[in-house]
A = this chain, B = another copy of it.
Amino acid sequence: MGRWAPDAAIRLERAALELFAEQGYADTTVPQIAARAGLTTRTYFRHFADKRDVLFLREREFPAVVSAVLADAPDGLTPVDLVMHGFDAVARDGFDAWREAVRARRRIIRSDAHLRERELLKSSALAGAIEGVLLEHGLESRDAALLSSFGVLVFDAALDDWLEGPNDRPLHEVLRETRDRLGRLTG
């Protein structure tokens, strides 16, 4: 998880998800989260604006992580392979050890309309980050917009499938299957 957030933020996220699961999102307070993580409330607010914000740590970091991975991508990939390479690298690096945490987070977000709206905004931030990389690679703007949306669509669908599926399928495999599935459906 080397590309991700500082350790304190990760510990706070884990503590928050545990508490939300144990006693519910509404009944959990920021001081409780900080205490469970062995940190102060003040440290909490150095990393997050409010209680809700801890749920969006990965989303906040995700655009920058994907951009960094794409900057290190091998030369000579087609644009779509470049995008899928970025998601593949992130999936291999950051997700499989965290499936239960990602599942817990998703359950909480789906329980609240405001959290769902915020989640949708974050997908559009991710698409924007990928679009920026594609523009730097010389893609025409409409192509960059279309392909970045396509990549996020495949990633979001793969994430759903991975969260709902059996426990032994790594995300990067589900990602490849999802892209193949969409290719068959639309080809």
**Whole-angstrom distance from the CB of A127 to the nearest CB of chain B?**
10
Partner of A178, one of B121, B124, B146, B182: B146
Q: Are A185 and B146 in contact (CB under 8 A)?
A: yes
Q: How many protomers of this protein does the assembly include?
A: 2
- A150-B153, A185-B80 as given contacts; A145 in contact with B160, CB under 8 Å: yes
The DSSP consensus for interface residues of chain A is: helix
17 A-B pairs besides A79-B185, A147-B182 with CB distance below 8 A are A80-B186, A117-B118, A120-B120, A142-B157, A142-B181, A143-B181, A143-B185, A145-B157, A146-B181, A146-B185, A147-B185, A149-B156, A149-B157, A150-B182, A150-B185, A153-B153, A187-B187
Residue of B nearest to A140 (CB): B181
